[in-house]
């Protein structure tokens, strides 16, 4: 059985102000957890959109697909690669970002300084570069990684 990590830390490029226990705090660290079955519907939507984007890109350029298969044998996908694939595809990135935001604001998936849950109000304070980077890293770590590991065994 493949061991999977269940969390990772993400450092924001721009500090974030939030309230914790009645005090205003400033944080630049997010602790992100893998989605649970409670968030399974959102996870599947993100996963499906990513793989549709990859399939769309491969069908438009079959030579690229062959080269990728050779180059990607044992390489893990990175956050910037995930984001680039999505942005270069036909994926509806507005809907994708909205779905990602809902996932980040559900339960304890995203914790600020590992003490405060991410909320829509706090989310809207994030810098767009951080949101893009976070989306790529989260997808690479949790949403895409599990399927790619399964596919590489075949």
User: For the residues 79-98, what does the mean pLDDT come to?
Assistant: 91
Q: What is the mean pLDDT of residues 51-72?
A: 70
**Per-domain boundaries in the chain:** 7-152
Q: 119-136 b/e with 16+ CB inside 10 Å = b?
A: eeebbeebeeebbbbbbb
State residue 59's pLDDT score: 81
- Mean pLDDT, all residues of the chain: 86
105 in Cβ contact with 49 (< 8 Å): no
| pLDDT band, residue 18 (cuts 50/70/90) | very high
């Amino acid at each position: 059985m493949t061991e999977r990590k269940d969390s990772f830390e993400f450092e924001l490029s721009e500090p974030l102000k939030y309230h914790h226990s009645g005090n205003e705090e400033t944080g630049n660290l997010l602790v992100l957890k893998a989605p649970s079955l409670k968030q399974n519907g959102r996870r599947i939507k993100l996963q499906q959109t990513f793989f549709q984007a990859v399939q769309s890109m491969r069908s438009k350029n079959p030579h690229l697909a062959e080269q990728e298969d050779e180059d990607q044998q044992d390489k893990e996908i990175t956050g910037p690669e995930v984001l680039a694939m999505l942005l270069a595809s036909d994926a509806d990135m507005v809907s994708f970002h909205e779905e990602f935001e809902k996932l980040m604001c559900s339960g304890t998936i995203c914790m600020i300084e590992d003490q405060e849950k991410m909320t829509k109000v706090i989310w809207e304070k994030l810098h767009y570069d951080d949101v893009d980077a976070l989306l790529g890293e989260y997808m690479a770590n949790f949403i895409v990684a599990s399927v790619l590991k399964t596919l590489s065994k075949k």
